[in-house]
Amino acid sequence: MVTSVAPRVESLASSGIQAIPKEYVRPQEELNSIGNVFEEEKNNLGPQVPTIDLKNIESSDEAVREKCRVELKKAAMEWGVMHLVNHGISDDLLDRVKKAGKIFFDLPIEEKEKYANEQVSGQIQGYGSKLANNASGQLEWEDYFFHLVYPEEKRDMSIWPKTPSDYIEATKEYAKQLRVLATKVFSVLSLGLGLEEGRLEKEVGGLEELLLQMKINYYPICPQPELALGVEAHTDVSALTFILHNMVPGLQLFYQGKWVTAKCVPNSIIMHIGDTIEILSNGKYKSILHRGLVNKEKVRISWAVFCEPPKEKIILKPLPEVVSEAEPPLYPPRTFAQHIQHKLFRKTQDAALSAAALK
């Protein structure tokens, strides 16, 4: 595999620079809202991301089961993001996944470069950093490793890290168990819309076609965290996204006009509703705008798994059962690929307009 020429944020961070390069400095209108993430996390005033206990999601007691499902549905409608606890995936497995990812990112950069992706040629799996592909030329303070982890037959094992030795086994098992958890969540969300239990899962590709793509985000220590973002504000295009992290705060959600910092909840998995489910539900379930802050004290690592429909096979549009004369469809029919292109086009337009306004 050809080594990528993109500079790694990790090498910048470890070079001893005191000031970050201008490509990483966010526009003025964003800088006003970037604070110290450790201080922000301690803030208990105002709204907090809900925590949903899934222990009773399949309870044989109907009333107990229903209470759990109603809470999940409410969080999906009001926030579109939640901390899941008692999710059925063991702490031991979560620790193995996190340990393996950390060991990989602790390898020398030259070692990681053996897995470098080739974004320009369309080879997006592997080790990478964001290229300045938007009109403003902005970069994010992160490196990452991206690969498809489920279904098994669609994986490209040649790209999976060989070091540490447990990386492959831990990640395979995690993907398998996460796929089971996704089915449970889709069921609750379907019932919450008055649909048959298996409906949403079927609409996003079912067991054969729904893809689970893992992105390990590595956010090095940043000398000027008040000027940068690890990930800029966006909504996920996925159906669902499941996130683990190394207990360093950074995730912020744009809720009721303000940025809210997610707490670090031990042994939880953060779950986002993505655009795909927002579209199918005609906006009843929310895909929330979110971003990642960085800091000058601790490296932050997160493991995001995006559950995505196939790019071309399915037309995404509000389901007929959730639209009416009073609630007409809010989204035009598009394939998943078209939805991604539409978002990129809009983002490029916005960046171009911002750049023009500054001239």
Residue numbers annotated as active site: 215, 234, 236, 290
| Distance (Å, whole) CA 157 – CA 348 | 34
| Distance (Å, whole) CA 332 – CA 323 | 13
Instruction: For residue 296, count other CB atoms closer than 10 A to its CB.
Output: 12
| Distance (Å, whole) CA 315 – CA 163 | 39
- The phi, psi pair for 344, rounded to 5°, reads -65, -40
Closest of 116, 101, 98, 102 to residue 8, by C-alpha: 116
| Distance (Å, whole) CA 101 – CA 317 | 36
Q: Classify residue 250 by its DSSP letter.
A: -
CA distance to 36, 68, 124, 234, 326, per residue, from 213 (Å): 30, 28, 11, 17, 37
Instruction: Answer yes or no: are the C-beta atoms of 94 and 267 closer than 8 Å.
Output: yes
| Distance (Å, whole) CA 48 – CA 43 | 9
